[in-house]
Each structure stands twice: as structure tokens, then as C-alpha cells.
Amino acid sequence: MARGRSLHIGLNRVDPARYNGWNGKLIACENDARDMDELAGKAGIEERVTLLTAQATVDNVTAELRKAARILAPGDFLFFTYSGHGGQVPDLNGPEDEPDRLDETMCLFDREYIDDELYKEFESFAEGVRILCLLDCCHSGSGIRVREILTPEAMEEQFQTTDPHQVETTSRLMPLDKQAELYERDKEFFDGIQRELNAKDNRELGATALLISACQDNQLAADGLRNGLFTATLLEVWNGGEFTGGYKAFHREILKRMPPTQSPNLFITGRANNRFIRQTPFTV
């Protein structure tokens, strides 16, 4: 019988001492993590970990991922969720890795966590492990401003304001000026991480990783009072387990219910596993 394990991360703020005075205040990310944990439990996943705000450090997240990699065997299931701010840093791996020459990041409590770091952890999982990754954040491209991607009408519909500055504080995107400021301050550190990862053996991903993210790269993910818009819509579609269909149908139904200004993205990488893709979501 397959074994399931889940890790749910939600940050309503970050450590301003590590982010040059920016606290990244959000409202609903901890609720997202709790609700995903509850969903996982009802889906039959017994081994669950939730890291909220100050608990969600790079060391803690890395330790939990490595523990899961040691435990899970072929055919087992990892359910990973993140709700918080997203950001970007310049990509040193060249245009083949990231066409926009930028690496996406998750804003953990003590620093940004580069997507290459997450992928490297996924490489440690046994061949045949199924990984479901849900990211309720956004990584809008460098130089793209709110007023360039949202009309006043779209701002009002998605964020209940026509003030671009207010939108930037209620979306799950690290402000672009803060992204640039932190990279300039920590350039040597982030570049060093990428060089170190590139120098290591790049193994093919033996697991199958299925990622559903809250929006496209040129869009913003909305926070909310109870849940982020993506998480709230996902829970509505799931309907306490009443949803029938595979992951692609699940993604399509979520997409159908989202506003045109926020279109969740589905991405699959690693070992081909059509059986996983066709399974009812969250199946252990």
C-alpha cells in the first residue's frame, strides 16, 4: 500500500531584519496551509507537517523535504503546498533553463528560496515517487508593473481597488523594487547558491512532479480574507472530495472559475507517469 506524506507552508509575513525592513504582510496564507493540511488528512495522508510564518525557514523546509525523500519509496506520494510571496533573481544557468533569464523564488521567513533549490531536493526522491506541488504565489517578471498588466477595471474586479500601489500590497508578489534591492545586497550569496547547484551532479528527476501554480508569469495572485483566490477556488472545485476526474480536469475546472486576470498554470516534469496524471487529485 502506498504511503503519503505532506508539507504545507504558509507565511503571513517574513522577517524584516532579513528583508531590508520589508515584512511582506499578507492575510490568508496561514489559513491556506491549515486548510491544505485538513484536505490532506481527509484524503488519507497521515504523515503531515505544517510550517507557519516564523517556522517556515529555509532550514526547516529543507529538513522536511529531505526527511520525506528518505522515507518515501517508489509509488509513494508527496503533497507539497506553499502560500506566500513570490519573487525572482537573475538566473545564472543560461537561457535554456529559464527563457526570461530569471529564477523564481519563494519568500520563506529568513530568505528567498530559489526554485533550483527545490528542484534539487526533488531529485533526491526515489524513482516512481509522485509529487504534487501547489504554489499560491506569483512571480511577475522583472520590470512589469501592476498598471502595465491590469486595467483599472481588472484591478477593481480582482483586488477591489484601482490604486496600483494598493494592489501591490494585497497581491502575493514581492515588490519589484524590493526584489532588486535584496538581490543587489545578497548577489554573491544567491549567485553562489546557483553555482554550487550547477557544480553538483545533475541527476534526472526519477520522481514525477506535477505543479499547479496560482497564475501565469505575467499575472498577479490575489490574497484574500480567508484564503488566497487560487486556494479558495481549488477548495471550491474539490468540494470536500466530491470532484471526480484527474489532475488535468481538476486544473481546467479551477481555471474556468478564476478571473481572466489570474490563470493557474499546470506543469509536469520528471519521469512519465500517466497513471498519476489520471488519478483523482490527492490520491495516496
**Catalytic site residue from 137, 138, 215, 251:** 138
Q: Is the pLDDT of residue 65 over 60?
A: yes
* Enclosing H/E stretch for 265: strand 265-270
Catalytic residue among 8, 85, 139, 251: 85
Q: pLDDT tens for residues 214-268?
A: 988 778 888 888 999 999 999 999 999 999 999 999 999 999 999 988 999 999 9
**Would you say residue 56 has pLDDT above 80?**
yes
pLDDT reading at 146 higher than 70: no
Tens of pLDDT, residue by residue over 87-104, are: 988 887 654 444 457 888
Q: Is the pLDDT of residue 202 over 80?
A: no
- Give 3-state DSSP helix, strand, coil % of the chain, rounded to 5: 40, 20, 40
- Output 173 or 20, whichever has higher pLDDT: 20
pLDDT for 7 equals: 99
pLDDT at 172: 83
Give the count of beta carbons closer than 10 Å to the beta carbon of residue 92: 18
Supply the pLDDT for residue 195: 84
| pLDDT surpasses 50 at 141 | no
Between CA 73 and CA 218, with CA 266 as vertex, the angle to 5 degrees is 135
**What is the 8-class DSSP label of residue 220?**
-
Check whether domain 4-278 has CATH 3.40.50.1460, yes or no:
yes
Please indicate whether residue 85 is annotated as part of the active site.
yes
Domain ranges of the chain: 4-278
pLDDT higher than 50, residue 32: yes
- Residues near 129 by Cβ (< 8 Å), separated by ≥ 6? 72, 73, 74, 75, 76, 77, 78, 206, 207, 208
- Judged against a pLDDT cut of 70, whether residue 157 lies above it is answered with no
The model's pTM: 0.87
Best CA proximity match to 31, nearest among 56, 15, 12, 5: 12
Q: From 20, 74, 76, select the one nearest 45 (Cα to Cα).
A: 76
Mean pLDDT of 46-71: 99
Looking at residue 100, its pLDDT comes to 54
Say if CB 96 and CB 22 are below 8 A apart.
Answer: no
Q: Is 165 among the residues known to form the active site?
A: no
